Amino acid sequence: MASQSQPRILIVGAGAIGIMLGYHLSLAGADLTYLVRPHHTQRLSHPQILYSYHDIATIEFKGYNFITDPAQIGDSNYDYVLVTPDAATLMAPLGATLVKTIGEVFKGRHARILLAGTFHNFKSWFAETSGLPADRLACIIVPIAIHETKAKLKTHGYVDMDQFVKADYAYARINSQITLQIEDEPKFADFVNLYNTCGVGHCITAPANQMAAHLLPIFSLLVPMELLGWPSMKELDRNSDLWRLGTAAVKELRALSLYGEAGRQAAETTNEESLVNDFSLMEQTALPLDQADFNRYHHGGKVSKQDQDHVRACIEYAAADGKPLTAAPELLRRLEERQRSSA
């Protein structure tokens, strides 16, 4: 049972991100409860084992509770709700029903909601669907590549396979300075302070538009990466038409009026070299995990459709705003042509 001084946190979903952040928050002394589908209870009944590519060691995560019925989320006085499913899952009918339930339960309470999903205007959609005010919501970015160990990804360097095969998940940081970024909302200051006591990660804040303008347009660059076969930055043909088109797409998406001045400034500094440098740094930081292969596994698989739908939503937004895009639609056209020819 949680003490009065222990922050109570509900984590919706126990996938890779939910487990990773849950582990960090457990080290910070939070009282954790997962809301999961019934078929996940057997897995959570045992400690979760995480393998660190950097530390070449496993860690054990336990000491959490879990529930399966959304009706139970009102039984505890949670301080924070961490919503970890991807945006596409939440925006589907069943997910939207859950979001409405979250809104109904927490409308008259103090709990703050953190959103790990990434999609065009996702926070506004969540606020409208849940009925919760936007100042009680904050989007987060988790710069950690984490995957189930049954997915054998490429590595460069030593991996202790004796430890690896015992783990449920393996992870690598893709930013050497931080493990979490959150929108700079005053109501989440205590959460940032809590997280930063975990001892194994660091959280920073940034203005919402700045975070969105930096991250969300990058999904358009995943289209040429898929068309090029998910090359690493060392393998990439920087002079290819697809890479130039991808860079142009990121630039025009960052300039959307939705992102304001932060987007305009981000667009001005976006070019082929800056994007190569950004991705090269992530690849170097993630070693021995092959970050390009992780992108193939994650963005070329589970969330591929969501990434493309996000770009389509941006295209529609720009058209409605009277500023139609050119590079992003052309990228999607080429991808769809490839998909038709290989069907």
Q: What is the pLDDT of residues 69-81, one digit of tens each?
A: 999 998 889 999 9
Highest CATH level, class, for 8-206: alpha beta
pLDDT score recorded for residue 152: 86
pLDDT score recorded for residue 157: 94
pLDDT score recorded for residue 2: 53
Residue 150 CA to residue 165 CA, distance in Å, equals: 8
Residue 331 CA to residue 242 CA, distance in Å, equals: 8
Pairing of strands 31-35, 112-115: unpaired
Task: Kindly state the average pLDDT of the residues 171-185.
Answer: 97
Q: What's the whole-model pTM score?
A: 0.94
pLDDT band at 304, cuts 50/70/90?
Answer: confident
In angstroms and rounded to an integer, the radius of gyration of the C-alpha atoms of the chain is: 20
Find, among 278, 267, 283, 277, the residue nearest to 325 by Cα: 267
pLDDT score recorded for residue 4: 57
pLDDT score recorded for residue 342: 77
Q: What is the pLDDT of residues 204-259, one digit of tens each?
A: 999 999 999 999 999 999 999 999 999 999 999 988 999 999 999 999 999 999 99
Q: Are 222 and 299 a contacting pair, CB within 8 Å?
A: yes
Q: What is the pLDDT of residues 111-145, one digit of tens each?
A: 999 999 999 999 999 999 999 999 999 999 999 99
Task: Kindly state the average pLDDT of the residues 313-327.
Answer: 93
pLDDT band at 1, cuts 50/70/90?
Answer: very low
Residue 291 CA to residue 280 CA, distance in Å, equals: 9
Any idea where the domains of the chain sit in the sequence?
A: 8-206, 211-342
